[in-house]
Amino acid sequence: MSRKPEKVHVQIKYGDVTQDFSANPQESWLLLSQFFKQLIPSFEVANMLLLKVDIQQLAKDIQGVVAFSSDGPVLLSPKGKLTDNETLSIWLTAQYLGNELGLVKGDDLSKEGLQMRLGKSGKIVSTRLGELVKSGFVTKTGNDKFRITSHGIAQTQKEVLRKVREKTKLQ
């Protein structure tokens, strides 16, 4: 009398993806092999292309431009040497970093808070924030606040902080 092979139940978790299947042993082996051949290389390639924020590197990059006190982030560079967009990018990056490090609550700031930090009229701040949103550097949150995007952080690290260091002779 031939016995029907029992099914194998498999659950694979790789990163955020979970795959479950139930099949006979031979088919299970083929499905498992297919998962490793197709899915994992795709994740590795996608992972190489992901824009990730390295908090430790960001802290090093922003050191000397921003400091944190008990009152929150403090811009150390003279405002007069920076453009409005540079200043807004730095403030929002500092807020993000402070939140990640547990030094401030939330990674977003209100238009009024940014206006106060920038020392400009509401109209100018709105215009500059609109430019940053349009460029993908900043996003408006559901509670009418603004936060820097991963793209914005990358650009701030790559371009803005370099320019600020050149303008203010910070090394």
Residues 38 and 92 in one domain: no
Same domain, 29 and 64: no
Distance of alpha carbon 130 from the chain centroid: 19
What's the domain count of the chain?
2
Q: Is residue 3 part of a domain?
A: no
C-beta of residue 135 within 8 angstroms of C-beta of residue 76: no
Position 2 in a domain: no
Does 125 fall in a domain? yes
For residue 96, what is the domain's CATH number?
A: 1.10.10.10
Instruction: Please state the pTM of the whole predicted model.
Output: 0.72
Considering the domain architecture, whether residues 64 and 88 belong to the same structural domain is answered as: yes
**Domain membership flag for residue 1:** no
For 93-120, the pLDDT digits (tens) are 999 999 999 999 999 999 999 999 999 9
Task: Give per-residue pLDDT as tens, 68-92.
Answer: 998 889 999 887 889 999 999 999 9
Q: Are the C-beta atoms of 138 and 147 separated by less than 8 Å?
A: yes
Q: Which amino acid is at 96?
A: Y
Considering the domain boundaries, does residue 21 fall inside one? yes
- The least confident of 42-51, 87-96, 141-150, 152-161 is 42-51
**For residue 59, is it within any domain?**
yes
The range of the structural domain enclosing residue 19 comes to: 8-49
Count of alpha carbons within 13 angstroms of residue 50, beta-carbon side: 9
In a domain, 60, yes or no: yes
DSSP states of 36-79: IIIIHHHHHHHHHH-----HHHHHHHHBTTEEEETTEEEE-S-G
Same domain, 149 and 66: yes
